[in-house]
Structure 1
């Protein structure tokens, strides 16, 4: 078998030796037979020496020969490594999506990485998913298994996709819509930086991640320039130049007068600068996940949600839906709302607008009354 091409970050390393961790600072050795990884520390020279000795020792015990002869029993850990090196870089995923994908791959590898590929039957995959995951987690891990098996087929390692045949459970979102009354109640308990984030999302209809990315330098020539992170691939719909108005100017002035020196519109004084620096962010930046958690905590300070199951309570994302609904109530066309949201279809915009109230279908009942008159017998 021809050795597979190494990725750029692993070039120059001994076979079966890989880098990992922040900035690829650490090394680990992958057992060529079992696919199990062993940490080798951060000293490159020592890791290289250890890898050479291990490769030599394992070759003496014919593990590499067995792997060639018994290639049809290549395990899932081996497939996952190839998937990460050969396929994942081609997807051009955003950092957050890539991290989530790596997390799920890691979970699968820990759970069933030693399982031979020819042992991945429909029943085995179905049982694994049913016993270990529920709800959205089930759907996401099923998806990653489907992708792995598809990749294996393209490499001649599998003949079919057992994961694709398993039940694709549709997750029904239970989250309730946010009302204007609830928005105001949460707003009264919110810190100034969170109020700015809430108002920006409500007025501009931007996602939490896009609100967090906004900088003062993005505001010039009377406009606020936004590049929506979820829709960049759709071209013009992702690049917005929102004309400033008195309400937006008020929010911007409020942010400037916070007393905190920051390049971001939504900012706060961080208790620790270390974590933000590691993420290549300014220490005053607010991460998307932190914003979501802060909104949730503030929401639950009110008395409006005590009788609602936590899984059904509105999240920060519902502010965007509320804003779209308020625009519609004020007579703005759906095309106007769709442009702000960055949607490419009215169908997606309707998903955000529906659910705030019962939508009555206007119709007539004009059956001619004369048809109901009884005619005398002829």
Structure 2
């Protein structure tokens, strides 16, 4: 069973031989660890492909074993785990926290981009050797691009990465280079609505799908966030209340249908009745006309609501010269200001844990004049 002379095989582990009885050439692969031969048949191209794939997988397996051994050695002699290895473990911890409902899905998703940036910039470094200067350089990348809010998120996530590393004993107690960096300042440039501007946009929405005006009414009447408004169902209404479990905070609110916004001269019950039309749908906000990606009666996504609102706002004729135009979310601030003037407990309505957060929504960012009483 000598190897045929015309075959020049240069793939490790792969060889061929001629069967003395049939005179056919057969291929085989020798496992580098066990030394056993595995028959691969008489198809040369197929045999080569299998051998290449086998070598690739074995090499990958060997690399993983080497990394595992390296980590064990590092731990025993007091060396720090690498950033990449810890980030893999960190993500597993976050998935477990998500599964246990300790964090929300959006919180989990928010961590992805900062983690991958940290992996790309410092992945081969030892976790304990990363300094504040390394973290600051990453944050500066986002600030230079004008993405100050993202810079805040990156710092916040990396602070948590090192907190978890402390809990796991991978770094010294108190070691957190991200915490040592300066917090990026992100001054909000977006303008607020006043009631008159909101009414102009609402009027311009008459030519849009019916859900656009309905979404605006729900936003001001309930003071809830975009995602929560998108998920509202008719089945959430019982005992004469609209029940909302806030996606961001988990806060459970029961809003009376009798709640009336005096400035709009409309109650939540009136708005719900307006949303009940001839279209059969479980969702309070629903599609009225079938399109290529949306079916009549289907849920209106948060992205569709904010996109439709922006289109209506831009064609309303209103201009904002001091900052960027207000988004759909700014109706939450308008709602807070209108209801506070009525004497409604806006902290409970908005679902905030403290009054300080609610007061931020009450800030009109210089929209109105301060009247001196004499």
Q: TM-score, normalised to structure 1's length?
A: 0.69
Instruction: Evaluate the alpha carbon distance shift between residue 161 and residue 221 of structure 1 in structure 2; reply closer, same or farther with a 3 A threshold.
Output: closer
Corresponding residue of 1:44: none
Corresponding residue of 2:237: 219
Corresponding residue of 1:146: 159
Contact map agreement 2:114 2:158 (CA 8 A) in 1: no
More helix as a share of residues: 1
Q: How does 1:56-205 map to 2 (within 5 A)?
A: 56-58=61-63, 62-71=66-75, 72-90=79-97, 92-133=102-143, 134-159=147-172, 160-190=175-205, 191=208, 192-205=210-223
Q: CA deviation at 1:54?
A: 4.2
1:294 and 2:299 matched = no
Corresponding residue of 1:254: 274
Q: TM-score, normalised to structure 2's length?
A: 0.70
Aligned residues: 299
Which whole-Å CA distance do the structure 2 matches of 1:106 and 1:261 have between them? 44
Instruction: Evaluate the alpha carbon distance shift between residue 52 and residue 218 of structure 1 in structure 2; reply closer, same or farther with a 3 A threshold.
Output: same
The 3-state SS of whatever aligns with 1:162 is coil
Cα deviation code 1:61-102 (max 9, x no counterpart) = x55433332452532121111111124532622222222222
Cα deviation code 1:346-371 (max 9, x no counterpart) = 333222223253445658xxxxxxxx
Which whole-Å CA distance do the structure 2 matches of 1:317 and 1:254 have between them? 22
Contact map agreement 2:337 2:362 (CA 8 A) in 1: yes
Instruction: Evaluate the alpha carbon distance shift between residue 214 and residue 66 of structure 1 in structure 2; reply closer, same or farther with a 3 A threshold.
Output: closer
Instruction: Evaluate the alpha carbon distance shift between residue 339 and residue 123 of structure 1 in structure 2; reply closer, same or farther with a 3 A threshold.
Output: closer
Which whole-Å CA distance do the structure 1 matches of 2:268 and 2:355 have between them? 26
Q: CA deviation at 1:163?
A: 0.9
The 3-state SS of whatever aligns with 2:243 is strand
Corresponding residue of 2:362: 353
Which whole-Å CA distance do the structure 2 matches of 1:125 and 1:166 have between them? 7
Which whole-Å CA distance do the structure 1 matches of 2:297 and 2:60 have between them? 45
1:344 and 2:364 matched = no
Q: What is the RMSD of the two structures over their aligned residues, measured on CA atoms?
A: 3.0
1:284 and 2:318 matched = no
Structure number with larger C-alpha Rg: 2
Contact map agreement 2:118 2:138 (CA 8 A) in 1: no
Q: How does 1:307-322 map to 2 (within 5 A)?
A: 307-309=321-323, 312-322=324-334
Q: How does 1:365-376 map to 2 (within 5 A)?
A: none
Cα deviation code 1:201-243 (max 9, x no counterpart) = 111222212211111112233322222223325xxxx321423
Question: Which deviates the most, 343-352 or 119-128?
Answer: 343-352
Q: CA deviation at 1:200?
A: 0.8
Contact map agreement 2:152 2:183 (CA 8 A) in 1: yes
Instruction: Evaluate the alpha carbon distance shift between residue 293 and residue 273 of structure 1 in structure 2; reply closer, same or farther with a 3 A threshold.
Output: closer
Which sections of structure 1, spanning at least 5 residues, go unmatched? 1-48, 277-281, 364-378
